[in-house]
Chain A
Amino acid sequence: MNFEAKIPGGPIAQKWERRRREVRLVNPANRRKYRILVVGSGLAGASAAASLAEMGYQVACFTFHDSPRRAHSIAAQGGINAAKNYANDGDSVDRLFYDTIKGGDFRAREANVYRLAELSVNIIDQCVAQGVPFAREYSGLLAVRSFGGVQVSRTFYARGQTGQQLLLGAYQALERQVGLGRLRMFPWTEMLDLVLIDGKARGIVARDLRTGRVRSFAGEAVVLATGGYGNVFYLSTNARKSNATAVVRAYRRGAAFANPCFTQVHPTCIPHTGTYQSKLTLMSESLRNDGRMWVPKAKGDKRDPRDIPENERDYYLERKYPSFGNLSPRDLASRAAKQVCDEGRGVGPTGLGVYLDFADAIQRLGVEVIRDRYGNLFEMYEDITGENPYERPMRVYPAVHYTMGGLWVDYDLMTTIPGLYALGEANFADQGANRLGASALMQGLADGYFILPTTIGDYLAGSKFAPVDESHPAFGDIEREVAARLAALMSARGTKTVDAFHRELGRIMWDDCGMSRNERGLVRALDAIRKLREEFSRDVNVPGSDTSLNMSLEKAGRVLDFFELAELMCHDALERRESCGAHFREESQTEGGEAKRDDANYCHVANWEYRGEGQPPLLHEEPLVFETIQPTVRSYA
């Protein structure tokens, strides 16, 4: 496998410009001869599909939802980072670059992250031009706020619905191209496999969820913008249908998977309640601008939080990380919450909760200011818990939220399969071992609006393509494989529901490959997953037929692919015997219980190659080279 990242030479600030100068171009009149298949319609997919169609390529975009606007980017709350320095607080492209590399615990590529920081400013310009209603000051200029792991205010936002507004901007751009007849949109269509011809990605096999019809789509390039795999854990902040099928299918066809064990646990989610619970709801990181996190100093203190005097409270983030305080990065804040709960100081009925308290902010700023900043989040919290956060502190607990790992891509965002690209959360590229808040939206849009439209031309212009359409035998072969897989799921007719298996898988992963990992637990998890997977193929019960809308069948296929990925995550976590970012190996910690990185042995991207059913995957290491920033112990104290 070729892991040449193709990072341009020269000083870091000129690499992207140099790449733009060097890429081969496709002349505008020739672009309509190339068919590009974009899978996924979230921030990365919709922005890429719209931009490529605007340029004149023949674009088809696929989503399993009923509409492209449903993609899970819609749920992002807090904001999007950009190095505009509108707050005049010392921000710059360099500083955003540094914060993101450090936030990722020195496990991301410098060149990619620098480019992301550079493009951040163009994203805001683009979105404002599209009419995204960002929050504004009374002057009419754009407002900004702060987020975790940084000391400047560079986060742009649209109330607590930033993801929604950015996605609607991209969605509207996409629909504009649909209206102009330059882009074909395929809703209710789920990619179930990738088709390679002569070693190049030449199409996909997809299923129309309404009719069950399996059909092929041919093209000259395939773009996967299918999001992350947090739902491996069953309970996460991801939407219920978010899944990893497209990336797992690509992995099985030869795309390497990078750093699968890097999964982000978000510190502030509404705590788990009953076994019937279907998902966990995030409370935006922006709340930590004004909310203070605390637990009682005494174990098992069951008093009403309002009756606990100030000197009996432990504001543990302010104590442990005084210079970043409540805005410490997510990985540290999550681990700190787990630690105080493990000590028996957690709050709420299960003891798995900490307080996020606005009493001081309300006293200082008044209730109206707080309502203006966070009103919709407070309402959401009250809807779910029945408690009023204006009157008593919120109870929150960490939950799986984002996956930094993903398909390996080079600087051009191409995977190890020629012609197959991965964008946004589906790739591994920019977030290292821990993503900072408000950086996912930035990455999705940088990839889709600016990077891919520039780099894809290089591949198209530089390749010879045999004329291929859906009648090529390679499509028929894969269609038959897909049909056989669906038939196997339908024919088991066992006794357990798909959700029962998924819940069990989630429990295994949360216990042994969650916030804290060790060798014994990971070995145990691998064994348990293998057994559960065997039981699944024997005993799963998928009712109904495969020729009409059948949500149990859809889910069964997704869970089957989660098994594959869960094993891969455990292999990766086992192999990385250091702690870094969100990956905490108990064997590698300081005396104070902080993560201990091991740059001598693990300063690399761990890339996994699929080697066939039942075979352990093969590890390839891509060393990370730091030319601009010297990796240091990551301190927020």
Chain B
Amino acid sequence: MKLVLNVWRQSAPDAPGSFVRYEPSSLDPDMSFLEMLDVLNEELVERGEAPIAFDHDCREGICGSCGVMINGFAHGPFGGVATCQVYLRDFRDGDTLWVEPFRATAFPVLKDLVVDRGALDRIIAAGGFIGVSTGGAPEANTLPVPKREADLAMDSAACIGCGACVAACPNASASLFTAAKIDHLSRLPQGQPERPSRVLTMVEQMDREGFGNCTWHGECQAACPKRISIDTITRMHGDYLRAKRQ
């Protein structure tokens, strides 16, 4: 199998970047996209060139480390997967791929395809938790949670924090990321006491980090590897208005 890659190369945060063309040899359709980059990097090192920096870790779609734009789509054009779950058999022999980092003001490029997504941690630190300290928890079955609500909370909690929603959004908004956490916690009885303050502090932090606002393009939902629904954003807006009024 043959593919032509145009990969964004940028040596440092302040350095200018550009696309560089590669034609990796010996590709196998059963290889994953990241394994292709591994193989290409080994070739580059053997040729005395700098390997392509890209973030990755678990390689099974759960850690959220990996993520690049492939032909303009965050995590590639297939939907419902992280970059590490993209396989070469999904492309056609001879395809040309344009590979870029996730781009957003709040995600500065560190090198090549690696960006700094620390802003997402700061949104969580601003309120994405239930404020219980270790030790004082009541017996686990004290509070029943209807199965349906628990399942919906789990749907939102499945977010892997990869930032694809931001990269896919024309406004570089982190609304889906923020709303998913708010939705997870606000569906549970344990999350009620902090529900109003949580939405205010998290949204405020999102703005402060330089993310844009949601204008309902829906690109985030299409790119999300965990298929988190934009319904969560509606609920976040509802919570926000209620909290503001209080």
A residues near B (Cβ < 8 Å) are 47, 50-51, 54, 65-70, 72, 74-75, 84, 86, 122, 124-131, 133-142, 158-159, 161, 164-165, 168, 171-173, 175-176, 178-179, 185, 187, 210, 239-242, 273-274, 276-279, 281-282, 380, 383-384, 386, 449-450, 453, 495, 497, 499-500, 541, 543-544, 548-549, 551-552
Contacts and interface: CB of A to CB of B under 8 A. Distances in A.
Contact of A175 (B62, B121, B188): B121
B92 interface: no
A543 B161 CA distance: 31
B147 interface: yes
A134 B12 CA distance: 42
Contact of A69 (B28, B85, B121, B141): B121
Interface stretch (B40-48, B93-101, B167-175, B238-246): B40-48
Nearest to B116: A66
B190 A185 contact: no
B132 A548 contact: no
Contacts of B160: 164
A124 B89 CA distance: 42
B64 interface: yes
Nearest to A176: B129
Given A130-B129, A161-B158, 7 more contacts: A70-B57, A75-B60, A125-B137, A175-B125, A380-B60, A386-B89, A453-B134
Contacts of B134: 47, 50-51, 54, 126, 173, 449-450, 453
B49 A171 contact: no
Contacts of B30: 273-274, 386
25 contacts: A54-B133, A66-B55, A66-B118, A67-B64, A69-B121, A72-B57, A84-B140, A86-B141, A128-B140, A130-B129, A131-B130, A136-B145, A140-B144, A140-B146, A159-B158, A172-B130, A176-B129, A187-B118, A187-B121, A276-B35, A276-B38, A278-B59, A384-B85, A384-B87, A543-B51
Given A131-B191, A161-B158, A386-B89, A499 B114 contact: no
A274 B62 CA distance: 23
A164 B62 CA distance: 8
A548 B111 contact: yes
Contacts of B224: none
Nearest to B15: A548
A282 B132 CA distance: 33
B121 A67 contact: yes
B5 interface: no
Interface string B219-243: 0000000000000000000000000
B203 interface: no
A500 B191 CA distance: 49
B35 A126 contact: no
B59 A172 contact: no
Interface string B56-85: 111111111100000000000000010001
A69 B130 contact: no
Chain B residues touching A, majority SS: loop
B59 A240 contact: yes
A136 B59 contact: no
Contacts of A138: 147
A67 B118 contact: yes
A274 B185 CA distance: 42
B154 A133 contact: yes
B6 interface: no
Given A239-B58, A276-B31, A278-B38, A383 B81 contact: yes
B4 interface: no
A131 B189 CA distance: 9
B138 interface: yes
B195 to A, nearest CB: 11
Nearest to A140: B144
A265 to B, nearest CB: 18
Given A75-B60, A179-B126, A131 B140 contact: no
A278 B90 CA distance: 19
A178 B125 contact: yes
